[in-house]
Every structure is written in C-alpha cells, then in structure tokens.
Chains A and B, each alone.
Chain A
Amino acid sequence: MTILLNENAHILVQGITGREGLYHSERMQAYAKNVVAGTSPGHGGEWVLGDKVPVFDTVRDAKESTQADTSVIFVPAYAAADAIMESIEAEIRLIVCISEGIPIKDMLKVRALLEHSESRLIGPNSPGILSPGKVKAGIIPGSIAIPGRVGVVSRSGTLTYEVVQVLKDANIGVSTCVGIGGDPIVGTNFVECLDLFESDPHTDQIILIGEIGGNEEELAAEFILNQVTKPVYAYIAGRTAPENRRMGHAGAIIEGKTGSARSKIEALLRAGVQLFSYPEEIAEIIRI
C-alpha cells in the first residue's frame, strides 16, 4: 500500500516531447509501465516511448482517450502554472509538478483554483513520488530505495535521495517517498502528508526532511504533537545558512526571526520527534 498513488495509476506526462520529459518518461515506464499518455501542444497524434504511448495536444483529449488520472509536469517554468491549471480544469486527480522557478503570483492563482477542485497538487519544484517496487511519478531514481514500511516526506530532492540511500544500505525499506517541493507556495504541505502516512496501514514510521525558510516544519511539529501516533524522525538542513540569502530553493530563506533551523529543530523536539544531524545518522537511530 502507498499514499497518494498506487500501482494502478494511469500516468500522463505534460511536456512529454521535451528532453527532460521524454527521458524521465522512459525511466518511469521502465520502473512500472504505467505511463499511458503525454501532452505536447502541436505534437498531437505522435507516438513516443517505442511508439507505444500516444501524444495529445491537450490534457482533456489525453484523459478522454486513456483514462489518465495522474499527471507529471515537465514544462518550463513560464508555462508550468498554465499546465497545472489545465490539469485542474480537466479534473486530473493527482498533479505532480517537477518544474522549478514558477513565479509566486502564478502559484497563488493555482492555489486559489485548487481550493475549488478535487485535484491534489504535489510541488512545484518537486522530485515527485516513489513507492518502491510499485510506482514512480517524477524523477526520484528507482534504484535508491527498496520496498518497506518507512514513509519519507521532504522539501528537497537530492538530499532525500541521500537519506533514502542510507536506509537502503541499512536494508530498511520505504513505503512511499514524497518530495513536496522547495518553493514557498506548494500544493501539498508536510501536515497533509503526515496525515496520509498516519492513516496508511502500511507505514509504521515517518521520516521528515525539512530545511530553513517558512514555518512548514513548525506547523508539522504541532500536528505531530496532537495527531500523529507513529514514530517520527526529522532532519533540518541549513543550520549554517546566513540570514536574508536565498539558499537555492526559492523557499529556503531566513527572514528576520522566521525560518531559522533552530526554531524548527526546537519545535520538532518539543513534539517528541527524534532529530538526526547528518544523513547517515538516521540508520543509527531508527528502530526497525
């Protein structure tokens, strides 16, 4: 069992004829054979992935012809909010946006639209979702994780790979790994993912990987304190980051008193979460 999506997902890739879109569609197809369609304006009628997957001009066309229910977005930042809105409009159930660098104003509109829809958005600036051995929607390398009962939720990409690889090296498996994205405005937050893991019968323990900026981790801590019964472990990146400098991710910035690693670590500790201070340490403290 997994959260957010399972092996029956019908995946649509928006931007499937682009370099990134095509490469990662091949990887997803090799992992779980559930890419059913792609979109690329002006390429409707073409076929990709060994001539087995049809390309459509619009999401609506793709959905009507293939029953696609999950979309993974690889279009450039300037067109990405438009792509998300197209999927919301077409009532795609789960939208995973990999694109990085979307203007905040566009994301505010997307969030306003999401409030009135049944769709769920993961990202943007997300590495996607991986349920080891079952399904992958996004760019997380399939080889770094084995199936198991630990849920992982993170704001980062490669840092998540690092932690998941440490788990694999210690022979610890993962139920689902979700990257919620490194932007200030994202579709799904830590609290919602913690809630899903808490009620997932196939997840026993949860690892949360946060970083400086915003107050997502503080809100997560409050939720863990009141609503989560499963053991939670956490890592917070950016203890050495200076104030007022954006550390790569648009969301990773300490502004005045908000967003510091210390505030997040203290909040998580108060919630009974076990912190690890470098990636390899998770293998030493997690009890399986």
Chain B
Amino acid sequence: MKLHEYQAKLFFAREGIPVPKSGLANTPIEARQVAAEIGYPVVLKAQVLSGGRGKAGGVRLVRNDSEIESNANLILNSQIRGIPVQRLLVEKAVDYSGEFYLGIVNDRSLAKPILILSSSGGIEIEEVALTAPERIEKAAINPLLGLQNYTVRALASGLGIDYALWKPLQHIAAALWKLFDRLDATLVEINPLAVTPEGSLMALDGKMTIDDNALYRQKDFLELSDQIVETPTEQEARKFCLNYIQLNGNIGCMVNGAGLAMATMDCIQQAGSEPANFLDIGGGATADKVAAALTIIMKDPKVKAVLINIFGGITRCDEVAKGLAAVIPEMPVGLPIVVRLAGTNAEEGRKILENYPQLLQAETLMSAAKIAVRESMQVPA
C-alpha cells in the first residue's frame, strides 16, 4: 500500500526528520487559508499516487495571495495520469543549494533491505542509475542488526559528500530505518533531501510503501486504505476476499490461483482479445464466493463474454459449478459464459452445468479462450 506525500511527511516529522511547514487543502479557499498561516512563497502539490506529477502540472510555485486560488483551482480540476486530483499539499517554499536522494528498499535477490544514497537528488533514482551510476552508493542492511551509522558514513564518504553533512545524514538515515522497520515498509524514500543555505538537511518530498501482508498488525494504515486508488468494483471484491483488478478488455475471467489467472489472461490475448479483469478466487472457494465473483465481473459494462477456468486442487469443481448454477439465472440473456473445469471433481461439476445451455464447456484452457473470444465478437456492442 502506497502512502501519499503528506502522509509520509507526517511520519518523517514524528521521527524528527526536518520537513517544510505545510497544510492540506481540498478547495482553493482552504489553500488560501493555509498559505496565509504559513506565509508566502508556497508550493502547491497535487496529492496523487502517481509519478510524473511535476511534468503533468501538479506542482506550482505561488508567490502571493492574488495568485493562489486560481493556481489551486487549476490543479484541483486536473488529472494526473488519469487520476483526478482531490487534495493539495500547501507547503512553504524552501531555498536550497543541493539535493540528495536517500532511501531504503528491500532487495529481493539479497533478501535484505538496502540503503541508497545519491548525490543527484530531485530526479528518479532509476534515471540516475542509468545515466550516472557513479553518483549512487548503496549498502545492504542486516535485518537482525538494523542500520548502523558506519554504513551511512561509508556511503557519504564514497560520494565525497561534505563532512559537515555526515552527522545530519546519519540522523535522518537512522530515523528512516526506524520507520521502515517499525511500520513494515517495503520502501521509504526522501527525494529530494535538500541542503538548505544554513547547511542543514530537509525532506522536500517523500514516498512510503507499506507491505500489504503486514497490514493486519499496522492498524493505523487500515484507516488510510480508503485513499488507495481502487475502483468501486475492486472495493466490493475485497469484501468477499476476492482478488480482483479491473483491466481494459472485454473478456471477463474467473480463475483459481494467481499464476493460472495470469496465464488465462495471456491466453485471451493470444486468442485475439483482451481480458477485462484479473480475478483469483483463491484456494478452496465455496459456491457463495463463486457466485459473488461472477456478479462482480458483470458489474463491468465492458464485459462481452466470461471465461471461467478452474483447475481443482483444494478447490472442488462441483462446488464451483453449484455457485455458478445459483447465479446463472440472474445473468443477462445472450451473454456467453465459457467454463473449463479440470482436476478435483471436474466430472461432477460438468454434469451440474450441463443443464444450463447458456454455459459453453471447454476441455482445455486455450480452447476455452478461443471460444470466449469468438463468442464475444458476436455479442452486439
């Protein structure tokens, strides 16, 4: 789960990482009120979970009271990579003489968190890695020991950073590690970490991602979860513990298992169409859950045909068939539904479904995908 900049900065401030004065605004009038409190010049920053915010016009410098509402209005009425802006961070504009990047992220191959420091802040670290790798230093952190100060000094020294900044860097890196470790983060990042004219460091932008698997013990974030970008259908699916992601195509699909669900989507594409969604009903799904899954798929008006691919292991195909049978009468007439059952109790499942002529049964995954695509083309737009 990704946090917004303003949320990340709240955590930074709590751990003693210097951040500029700021406040949130939902309307241009609120933006003006916040700016009056903190003093001009201010920066208005769209709070959306998307990169490329600056390039898309989501960040604006405002020097005085007369320009604030029009600028706030512009951003609040814009979209950034398709996401409408609903909230602004109004932040005191800060002078700075240098920019660093400082972050901690999990390295999958090392199975360790790594501390990354770069002397080229203000641009994406992936970009620096490509164009100026000599400006990046990184080191693995032993998860049993935590981040030690010598590691930070080694990176600072490797980049030739002014010795006067080592102490504040150690302090900020230690605070970041504390957040990373305590909040079950998979990424914490300050970019840019600005050097002020007084020679201190300040976090001007921040990112945090929290491990979804750890949300059960990070209860603070559950309240924030309504701010994740999710379609209403995706939220509905979550209630039934279904793993559903809406996509752009018109073949709805329901599969047991994430890998097989992706393989099924790929088969749909290979058969000449595009999947409308990713949907994993998980292992051992009951009839109720299957029925809910089909109803959720049908909430997407783009869907022209449905492909159901179940390879029974823990999941029993007869149970899946019962769930389908329960909701088939509610499905639109003429909607093609292709079902492929294999594995545990597949034979029993197929027998149950024989009574529903709207259902087309297929033997293999690829043949099922081909039938679904063919049938979808015959449904009037």
Contact = CB atoms under 8 A, between A and B. Distances in A.
Interface of A: 20, 77-78, 101-105, 107-109, 111-113, 127, 139-141, 144, 154-162, 165, 182, 184-185, 209, 211-212, 214-216, 219, 235, 237-242, 245-252, 256-257, 277-281
5 contacts: A105-B143, A108-B112, A112-B112, A139-B314, A219-B109
Contacts of A280: 364-366
Contact of A250 (B213, B267, B268, B365): B213
Contacts of A165: 311, 342-343
Nearest to A166: B364
Nearest to B271: A278
Nearest to B186: A104
A104 B211 contact: yes
A277 B369 CA distance: 13
B243 interface: yes
Nearest to A127: B313
B256 interface: yes
Contacts of B255: 158
Nearest to A209: B259
A257 B127 CA distance: 11
B36 to A, nearest CB: 37
A242 B249 CA distance: 12
Contacts of B343: 141, 144, 161, 165
B261 A248 contact: yes
A235 B111 CA distance: 25
Interface string B248-276: 00000001111111110111111000110
Given A144-B343, A162-B365, A165-B343, A239 B266 contact: yes
Interface of A is mostly: loop
A240 B216 CA distance: 30
Contacts of A281: 366
B181 interface: yes
Contact of B259 (A156, A184, A246): A156
Contacts of A215: 108-109
B220 interface: no
Contacts of B278: 241, 245, 247-248
Contacts of B126: 256-257
B184 interface: yes
8 cross-chain pairs, A with B, having the tightest CB-CB distances, nearest first: A248-B258, A156-B259, A158-B257, A159-B259, A103-B214, A111-B111, A237-B262, A108-B143
Given A105-B143, A158-B313, A278-B365, 4 more contacts: A105-B211, A112-B112, A239-B269, A248-B243
Contacts of A219: 109
B250 to A, nearest CB: 13
Contacts of B217: 78, 103
Interface residues of B, number: 52
A112 B109 contact: no
Contacts of A77: 213
A247 B258 contact: yes
Contact of A237 (B143, B263, B312): B263
B212 A155 contact: no
Contacts of A242: 245, 247
B33 interface: no
Nearest to A211: B259
B108 A103 contact: no
Interface of B: 106, 108-109, 111-113, 126, 142-144, 181, 184, 186, 211-214, 216-217, 243, 245, 247, 255-263, 265-270, 274-275, 278, 280, 283, 311-314, 342-344, 364-366
A158 B256 contact: yes
A162 B365 CA distance: 9
Contact of B144 (A107, A112, A127, A239): A112
Contact of A103 (B213, B245, B274, B312): B213
B260 A108 contact: no
A157 B313 contact: yes
Given A141-B313, A155-B259, A248-B280, A108 B270 contact: no
B258 A252 contact: yes
A237 B259 contact: yes
Contact of A245 (B142, B143, B245): B245
B108 A184 contact: yes
A78 B217 CA distance: 9
A113 B143 CA distance: 10
A240 B313 contact: no
Nearest to B367: A280
A156 B213 contact: no
Contact of B262 (A144, A184, A238, A277): A238
Which of B184, B261, B265, B280 is the most central at the interface, judged by chain A CB atoms within 10 Å of its CB? B261
Given A111-B111, A240-B275, A162 B366 contact: no
B234 to A, nearest CB: 10
Contacts of B243: 248
A238 to B, nearest CB: 4
Contacts of B342: 162, 165
A252 B262 contact: yes
A78 B216 contact: yes
Contacts of B143: 105, 108-109, 112
B211 A158 contact: no
B258 A108 contact: no
A282 to B, nearest CB: 12
A279 B265 CA distance: 12
Nearest to B181: A105
Contacts of B106: 104, 108, 184-185
Contacts of B366: 278-281
B259 A158 contact: yes
